Chains A and B, each alone.
Chain A
Amino acid sequence: MKNTIIWLSRATLWAALTIIALPLLFSSCTEEEKPNNSPKVGNLTIEIDHVWGMDQKPFLMNTPIVHPMSGDTMTFSLIKYYLSNFELIKADGSSYKVPNSYFLVSETDNKIELKNIPMGEYTAVNFLVGVDSAANNSGLQQGALNPSNGMFWSWSTGYIFIRVEGTSPQAKNNTFLFHLGGYIPPYSAIQKKNMILGGNSVSIKPDAAPVLHIKTNVARLWHGPVKLADVSVVHSISDLSVSMSANFRDGILFDHIHQ
């Protein structure tokens, strides 16, 4: 009898232990699983053409080109900038934010792939030129935001949003260098772009591969104009960093949709 009681209590103990242990075993470390019954999704490619001036001349690297406003002759050796936090908007105003969407764009890396977007007709795209303040300020990032990409200010934590470099006879020391960034007001250079797709819509569906073509007018950075004889180097937060990044944002325009 005594033995039975002990045995029962032991059995209860074992049962309890197993009940406690098993869920631990299975649930404690499960990676996020994608539900099988997720809604139908599709992808969108955004292709960025780099142009020079309002009349959309080709933007050429390593070739002297004359700025349409300032008249400065500029030879570009580098252009890189961040586009991030993409959000697609339908005609009814509902929207889809593409998670973790950070892209480092250059004249050669000029395609952005947005994946797993819910099916539908989208009439506008919102994004940031630059990197949101949270991503600037939360330690080490990877992928497009990897600090080895040459777009991270090591001495003043945060990203360079727009980086252009080159040579010009009008610039002091014959070189120009613009590193524009900063995420804390009043010197926040994060620029929000609301791009309406010209009354058209882009169709996202599982079997389609639509391409949204946009154009970046690089000359727009020196809109105003900013003359290289006056300023040829910016590499910290400043009023100019804010105004130049805003101008650059205004030079990014919708072109057409290839459905």
Chain B
Amino acid sequence: MNALSLKGLTNGRILLLVFILPLIETSCQKNATDSEFKFPADFPSIQYKNLENQLTPQKIHLGRVLFYDPNLSSTRTISCGSCHAQVHGFADHNLPKSFGVHNRIGMRNSPALQNLAWNTHFMWDGGITHLDVMPIAPITDVNEMDLPLGEAIERIRENKQYLNLFKKAYGDTIINEKTVLFALSQFMLTLVSDQSKYDDVRRGKTNFNQIESKGYQVFKNHCVKCHSEPLLTNNQMEYNGLTVKSKDLGRFRITQTLKDTFHFKVPSLRNVALTYPYMHDGSFSNLDQVLKAYQTKFQLENHDLEALRAFLNSLTDHKFISNLNHAEIHPFNP
């Protein structure tokens, strides 16, 4: 009898706990961090600032669908993924400048999207200062997707197939600038490239071969100041002295300050072998041309260039470009 009542009490307490614990978990769903996605622990702390936008698998997935949705362009033909292709490290398909709606040609070379969580400035002139508002530029730009933001939101609202994705992501079907742009940020934040051979070497999992090793030394002697490790960019706007001075004044466009003339954002060297052509105007069609230009600038020997090329090839992240979580999807047109 005693044993029984004790057991009964214990069960009662278990019941109580069973009742309380889910409450604790579900009552704070907005703070949930049950994402499988994690930023690499050996990278610097992220620069993306939006505590309200905690990553969840559902929001990341919604962002991915939006990223690949051509309805966000006026002609319903061009998505973000059109000019940011996974096989090219999320740069364009080797075009100097990208084609927007009606074959209009964009102003600059489409940048590779990776490790955006560590960016403080976006675009070649660094004019955009927060990832959450970054997509507004390509969506609304007349030479890119050419759709007013409000209309883009309206199109997403009209597509009933989105309702379920928003419901899963946010718990309701509110579709507005915030829920759309936050989800796009989530997907873009997961575009992390940290699995190249260079990273394996960094993590002590393997070693560079002789020529890569020499190339790494050349890199450290001449390139690392702007292409700082481990992200391989210092996130600053600089003048590299290589590109033709044209009507495109670079950072000056943003600051109207003379010293910023022809300054452009230092791109990361990650996946650089995949993202040709190079520079803000796509004026260097291959890596050899870029290396030759730097050969003159830094007075490098031919064997230095060979070594540097080998090192740059070690920055290609094959896992990143074949990661199925980033791949193009058309859930509404199976």
Which residues of A pack against B, CB within 8 Å?
Answer: 7, 10, 14, 17-18, 21-22, 24-25, 28-29, 137-140, 142, 146-148, 152, 154-157, 184, 187, 236-238
Shortest beta-carbon distance, A138 to chain B, in Å?
Answer: 7
When A7-B6, A148-B148 are in contact, do A24 and B24 touch as well, CB less than 8 Å? Answer: yes
Q: Which residues of A contact B132 (CB under 8 A)?
A: 139-140
Tell me the complex Cα distance, A155–B127, Å. Answer: 6
Restricting to B178-211, which residues have a CB under 8 Å from any CB of A? Answer: 178, 181-182
Is A187 in contact with B256, judged by CB distance below 8 angstroms? yes
When A17-B17, A147-B177, A156-B127 are in contact, do A140 and B133 touch as well, CB less than 8 Å? Answer: yes
Shortest beta-carbon distance, A10 to chain B, in Å?
Answer: 8
When A7-B6, A148-B148, A154-B140 are in contact, do A25 and B23 touch as well, CB less than 8 Å? Answer: yes
Is A154 in contact with B130, judged by CB distance below 8 angstroms? no
Is A28 in contact with B137, judged by CB distance below 8 angstroms? no
Q: Which residues of A contact B28 (CB under 8 A)?
A: 28-29
Shortest beta-carbon distance, A148 to chain B, in Å?
Answer: 4
Q: Which residues of A contact B31 (CB under 8 A)?
A: 29
Is A147 in contact with B137, judged by CB distance below 8 angstroms? no
Is A142 in contact with B123, judged by CB distance below 8 angstroms? no
Q: Which residues of B contact A146 (CB under 8 A)?
A: 177
Taking CB as reference atom, which chain A residue is nearest B254? Answer: A156
- Give the size category of B's interface with A: 35 or more
Indicate if B330 sits at the interface (CB-CB under 8 A).
no
When A17-B17, A28-B28 are in contact, do A154 and B141 touch as well, CB less than 8 Å? Answer: yes
Shortest beta-carbon distance, B53 to chain A, in Å?
Answer: 9
Q: A22-B20, A138-B130, A157-B133 are in contact. List 20 more A-B contacts (CB 8 A).
A: A7-B6, A10-B10, A14-B13, A18-B16, A25-B23, A28-B27, A29-B27, A29-B28, A138-B49, A139-B132, A140-B177, A147-B177, A148-B149, A152-B133, A152-B136, A154-B128, A155-B128, A155-B141, A187-B256, A236-B253
Is A238 in contact with B17, judged by CB distance below 8 angstroms? no
Please tell me which one of the listed residues B17, B130, B181 contacts residue A157 in the complex, with CB atoms under 8 A apart. Answer: B130
Taking CB as reference atom, which chain B residue is nearest A241? Answer: B256
Indicate if B291 sits at the interface (CB-CB under 8 A).
no
Q: Which residues of B contact A187 (CB under 8 A)?
A: 256
Please tell me which one of the listed residues B6, B127, B129, B176 contacts residue A137 in the complex, with CB atoms under 8 A apart. Answer: B129
Q: Which residues of B contact A237 (CB under 8 A)?
A: 255-256
Is B24 in contact with A25, judged by CB distance below 8 angstroms? yes
When A7-B6, A21-B21, A24-B24 are in contact, do A142 and B178 touch as well, CB less than 8 Å? Answer: yes
Tell me the complex Cα distance, A254–B176, Å. Answer: 37
Indicate if B50 sits at the interface (CB-CB under 8 A).
yes
Shortest beta-carbon distance, B19 to chain A, in Å?
Answer: 10
Taking CB as reference atom, which chain A residue is nearest B153? Answer: A148
Is A28 in contact with B127, judged by CB distance below 8 angstroms? no
Please tell me which one of the listed residues A18, A25, A140 contacts residue B178 in the complex, with CB atoms under 8 A apart. Answer: A140
When A7-B6, A14-B13, A24-B24 are in contact, do A139 and B153 touch as well, CB less than 8 Å? Answer: no
Please tell me which one of the listed residues B130, B148, B176, B255 contacts residue A139 in the complex, with CB atoms under 8 A apart. Answer: B130
Shortest beta-carbon distance, B114 to chain A, in Å?
Answer: 21
* Centre residue among A22, A156, A184 by max chain B CB count within 10 A: A156
Q: Which residues of A contact B149 (CB under 8 A)?
A: 147-148
Tell me the complex Cα distance, A157–B125, Å. Answer: 11
Tell me the complex Cα distance, A49–B177, Å. Answer: 31
Please tell me which one of the listed residues B24, B150, B153, B182 contacts residue A140 in the complex, with CB atoms under 8 A apart. Answer: B182
